[in-house]
Structure 1
Amino acid sequence: MTALNLVATPGGLARVEGREAVLLDLPCGDVAELLALGEGFAPARRARELRRLPLADLEGELLAPLARTRAIWGVGLNYRSKAELTGRPVPKEPILFLRAPSAVPAPGAEVELPQDRSSQVDYEAEVAFVVGRRMSRVRPEQVWEHLAAVTAANDMTARDVMAATGTPSLAKSFPGFGALGASVLDLSGVPDPGDIAVRATVNGVVHQDSSTAELIFPVPDLVSRISHFAVLEPGDVVLTGTPAGTGQDRQVFLGPGDEVEITVPGVLPLRTRYRALPGHS
């Protein structure tokens, strides 16, 4: 069975095939809506092809592939490299938070820096997993069969807002701060779900380069723990944490004109550009 790699376009969901996007006859605007049907990727596999377009023609036109997700869960300090660099002790329990789904922008979007609230906006390269089957009190060994897909995430954070409020949801829910995509890859296309590479470049320079094999709380443990406190529904997203190399680690934060690219193998690159708030420079 060939793995699906889906993008959201103005014409609907499309399957990525090499340098082409194959538009599918589906009643879904994005992957979260597709998975909410309760059949995983099966509807996309049997959908009729409408037409083919060069991916290059969709540059700047792709929509957020998980805009309709119901919940986005995140976790702090989940890479050993990050804990070692900061000197913080390895947590005994995951540091969990929820982000407002309204923070999800389109891939390639230009995000406005909230300069009236923050001067320390930071990028965080992460691997994100998408729930395929309803999860409640699921054991770690059952987690993989409940997950449907993987994608890239830029888990942006206003570090000074975080320090001032102690509230991750506020520091991470500004418009555009929850970038996901640019495509969503069926988990069957991942050779080793426990060892997925993730990389971030800022203006073409690599600053983060790691793998989920370095997680403090591996994916089955992390997702299982969440499911014992909250029900996870198809289309929900779970972020897995970020490795060392963020702007916070270098004390260099994002400014107008910067571009961040997050790459996860098999997923189209996730690019985010930044512009100044009107009246600020």
Structure 2
Amino acid sequence: MVTTQAGLGRIEGGAIALLDTPFPHIGAVLEQEGSLLSLASRAVCRRVSFDEVTLRAPLGRPRAVWGVGLNFESKAARTGRELPEQPILYLAASSAVTETGAQVMFPQTVTEPDYEGEIAVVVGRRLYQAGESEIWPAIAGITAANDMTARDVMRTTGVPALAKSYPGFTPLGPSLRTLDDLGDRDAIRVRTRVNGELLQDDTSAGMIFPIPDLLSRLSWFTALEPGDVVLTGTPAGTGQDRACFLADGDEIRVEVDGVLPLVTRVVRPA
């Protein structure tokens, strides 16, 4: 599913089938109906090529964006950190969400801007104090995310929300992949390329807290509502791991299985 300036659509045969629906974005469908099932019966207004439309952030402005620190074994091994016994959770500002193709401007005060390619899970049905077996049936789909982080701000403040909430610091993928179109839910691949160079390549099989476990734990402290987004952690290969941070003009491309690529370009103010 995609959100375009012309409305909602399904990807069919390399084109977009625009649907007859009043909803402005996928997030609005989830907030009102708690699932995407109604879209399956919507009539197709017309079919267009990708060149004819502009892809928007599919979820609009989510009510909540949750994230987790250090959730890949490869990342822990690269940094020499012990595996956490509990998820390191944080809530980032939804005002940081932006769409694919957007330019993200780093403040002059940020000296160590970094990328984090991640699998983003979109909640379709309310989850509160849920068991692991309840998680996948309540998920609307997955998309790509770039959970950008100001490493210097993280180091000086120790507050993830401050290091990740600058405008544009949470680009979300241009399409949503529903679970009926997802093969192995336990091994979803995520890759990140910077200026064409592959720097991150892992699957959700390498997570310390797998998706059902992670969302179940989170749901015991908060209610996850339809349209909420949970970022599930980044594997090894970030700029932090290489002591090489983003520079003016860099292009980051995050690829998640079955999701259109998420492309972000970064700029420094003059």
TM-score between the two structures when normalised by the length of structure 2: 0.98
Deviations 1:42-95 (A, max 9, x none): 12111121111101233xx21111223111110000000110111111000000
Aligned mates of 1:267, 1:130 — CA distance in 2: 13
Q: Give the equivalent residue in structure 2 for 1:26.
A: 21
SS at 2:66 equivalent: strand
Offset at residue 39 of structure 1 (A) = 4.2
For 1:5-16, list aligned pairs within 5 A: 6-16=1-11
**Partner deviation per Cα, 1:132-161 (whole Å, 9 max, x = no partner):** 110110001211111110100000000001
Q: Is the 8 A contact 2:191 2:254 kept in 1?
A: yes
CA distance in 1, matches of 2:96, 2:234: 18
1:103 corresponds to which residue? 96
> Does the CA-based 8 Å contact 2:100-2:263 persist in structure 1?
yes
Look up the match of 1:156.
Answer: 148
Aligned to 1:173: 165
- Offset of 1:230 from its aligned partner? 0.2
- The alignment status of 1:112 with 2:105, answered yes or no, reads yes
Of 87, 91, 94 in structure 1, the residue corresponding to residue 80 of structure 2 is 87
The whole-number CA distance in structure 2 between the counterparts of 1:225 and 1:88 is 22
Could you tell me which of 28, 32, 38 is aligned with 1:37? 32
Pick aligned residue for 1:241 from 219, 226, 233: 233
| Cα displacement (A) at 1:15 | 1.0
Q: RMSD of aligned C-alpha atoms? A: 1.0
The answer to whether residue 201 in structure 2 is matched with residue 206 in structure 1 is: no
Query: Counterpart of 1:274 in structure 2: which amino acid?
Result: V
Identity percentage of aligned residues: 51
Q: Give unpaired runs (5+ residues) of structure 1.
A: 1-5
1:244, 1:130 → 2: CA distance? Answer: 23
Partner in structure 1 of residue 217 of structure 2: 225
* Contact 1:262–1:270 under 8 Å retained in 2: yes
| 1:110-151 residue CA offsets vs partner (Å, 9 max, x unmatched) | 111122x21111000101111111011000121111111010
Q: Stretches of 4+ moved more than 2 A in 1?
A: none
Take 2:37 and 2:22, find their aligned partners in 1: how far apart are those partners? 13
Equivalent residue for 1:125, pick from 114, 117, 120: 117
- Given the two structures, how large is their TM-score scaled by the length of structure 1? 0.94
Consecutive unaligned residues in structure 2, runs of 5 or more: none
State the one-letter code of the partner of 2:62. Answer: T
SS of residue in 1 equivalent to 2:248: coil
Which residue of 2 is the match for residue 3 of structure 1? none
Contact residue 61 and residue 97 of structure 2 kept, 8 A = no
Q: Is the 8 A contact 1:128 1:151 kept in 2?
A: yes
Distance between the aligned counterparts of 1:30 and 1:154, measured in 2?
20
User: Any conservation in 2 of the 1:33–1:68 contact (CA below 8 Å)?
Assistant: no
Work out the number of aligned pairs and report it. 270
**Equivalences for 1:125-144 in 2 at 5 Å?**
125-144=117-136
